[in-house]
Every structure is written in C-alpha cells, then in structure tokens.
Copies of this chain bind each other. A is one copy, B any other.
C-alpha cells in the first residue's frame, strides 16, 4: 500500500518496477552491473577499469547483467552503452559531475582502505559558496574545503590551495570524484599533510557568458578569464571571508588537464601571488612557452627565486605525456627548477587522486 501510493503519485521514476542492485561489489572485488532494458538489442559496459567495452547478457525478464573483475581497489567512472548510446547507471546515485558526459561511479574498497576512503578520523567541511564576479558580471559558485577544527574567527590562519577541475568538469568534481576532502582529512589525521584550505572554483565561464551574449569567442585554450577571475575575484573573496594566510609562500595553485593549463598560466605568470604550482596532466602543447605563453611566464630567475615548488604530474599512458615531457624539457632548457611525478595509467581521475595526494604531502612544508 505504501509503495503503491508513491508509485501512483509519480514520485518513483519506474512505476511498478523495483530498483536493481547495480553496481554490486562482491567481497572478492568482482563487480556485477545490471540494467533493465527489455527492448534493447545490445547493452555494453564502458568502464575505466576495462580495456574495452564488455557486453552484458539479457535474462528472460529483460534485465541485462555482467560480472567483471576482480577489479583493483579505486573509484572508477563507468557507463552503459545501450545500442550505441551512453547513459549513466540509473540504479546508482553516485554520479560524476560533468557537463560533457554522464557517468556513474563504482567504489572498490581497498584493504587497508585507500587514502580517499571515508575513515573514522576528524572530518573537515565542504562548503558551497556563491560570489558576485564583477569581472564576469555573473554570480559564480565556489566549493571550499576547510580542515577539521577550522573556525571562521579562530586565531589560526591557514595556507590555501586553489584547485582547478578539467575540461567539462565542474566546481563539484574535485569533491565528488576527486574526494579531496577525504584525502586531506586522512592525510592530516596521519600527520602527512599540513591543515590547509582548498578552494575549487568553476573555471568555465563560457556557458553563462554565451547565454548573456557577453562573449562569443569560446576558445577553451584561452586562460585570460581564468587568471583575471583568480586574481581579481576569487583570492579577494577568500581573503575577505576566510582565515587564509596572504603571502605567496602560503598560496598554491593546482589543476588537472585544462585546469592544469590554467594553473600554469596563472601560477607561472604570477609568482608574486602563487608560491607553489602543481600542474596535473596539463593541457599544454609542444613548446607553448615559446608561443602562446611567451609573454605570460615570469623570467626563470624570478620563478626560481619565488616558487617553492613547480611540479608536473602525468600518467605514462596519458595522451598528454608527450606534451608534459616537452614542457619539462623547456623548463630544463630555460633553467627553471621543477619537480615531476610520473605515474602509471592515463588521463583519469584515479590518477588525479594520486596527484593531489602526493602534492598535499609536499605543500606548505
């Protein structure tokens, strides 16, 4: 009767059909995926734990399923491809915040738990804030991690990391997929990272600017909007509203992919602002220091004198590894000091979590 009332009033999306368990992670780390589609001709699983798509099999009730693995412990994006059309798993509430695709997340727990696991430690806070950007004439979101014990009016001031998402990601992706709050909570609890504030802006102003007819040059390689927004809006907002330390030695910038490009432009262009620059698989192309970025970067002597760490991270199988190596070659040719952190794997958020875990252990020390 109870379910009937809710079904008939339309609050349940699939009237008369129970929810499937999908994904189901078994104790041996094999995983079963299920999808109800009686009329489909082919349902495939596309997952970042697979080398290629795997077909599901349909039972007589129209439920498709497949069991794969064992899958190594991590948090992976996946989707179903239904007769060629990619969709998220309708039975899984854990979704990847993104404007370019829709994928679900499956969490394979590790033993011992991975650094992004929810552990019984002190937990920081993730806050959704809104600020008015005078530069863009838009109200913009910010997602902000404050560490355990942070108080608005406390006597402690904290270093701050500005952390930028990738192309088509949103201000939520480092939280919901990067799990940066859990990683920092755990590293701080283990004494491996300094307590810090992490600010995650929404770095893509184009959809809102287009809607307002305020910009028509949608060139994602542009970094001008981002750098201006950081310097003129976001840093002042943070310094007015949070207990943040205001010197470059306590101000870092990092970003993934397109966000890595943006962080290089803002960070290497403004060593008087950022003392730490971590580019994670940055979307920067061969010899751009000589081209697009020529007038953006400070001179090597200034960078070497001001930057505590300039670091480039990338996976060996990432399509951008060649560009990352070219960038590091340019740094060497120019005598710019840098670190690198090269991992296995590709252009993935599994690697992003490694990159931020490594960076967090070096920052502000």
Contacts and interface: CB of A to CB of B under 8 A. Distances in A.
A129 B127 CA distance: 9
Contacts of A37: 82-85
A159 to B, nearest CB: 19
Contact of A93 (B41, B99, B123, B285): B99
A217 interface: no
A341 interface: no
Interface size class of A (residues with CB under 8 A): 35 or more
A254 interface: no
A346 B88 CA distance: 28
A86 interface: yes
B101 A12 contact: yes
A166 to B, nearest CB: 7
Interface in A141-196: 151-154, 166-168, 170, 175, 181
A70 interface: no
A85 B167 contact: no
A365 to B, nearest CB: 26
Contact of A101 (B14, B102, B127, B132): B14
A319 B9 CA distance: 6
Copies assembled: 2
A139 B113 CA distance: 15
Interface string A105-137: 000000000000010100101111111100000
A103 interface: yes
Given A12-B101, A38-B83, 9 more contacts: A5-B320, A6-B347, A9-B318, A11-B166, A19-B99, A86-B90, A120-B139, A125-B129, A153-B154
26 contacts: A5-B320, A6-B257, A9-B318, A9-B320, A10-B48, A10-B348, A11-B168, A12-B168, A13-B100, A13-B102, A36-B85, A38-B84, A39-B41, A39-B83, A39-B84, A40-B83, A40-B85, A87-B87, A88-B88, A93-B102, A95-B95, A118-B139, A125-B127, A127-B128, A153-B153, A153-B154
The 10 A-B pairs at the shortest CB distance, nearest first, are namely: A13-B101, A39-B83, A9-B319, A9-B347, A153-B153, A123-B130, A152-B152, A126-B128, A90-B102, A37-B85
Interface of A: 1-2, 5-6, 8-14, 19, 35-41, 46, 48, 79, 82-88, 90-91, 93, 95, 97-103, 118, 120, 123, 125-132, 139, 151-154, 166-168, 170, 175, 181, 220-221, 257, 283, 285, 318-320, 346-348
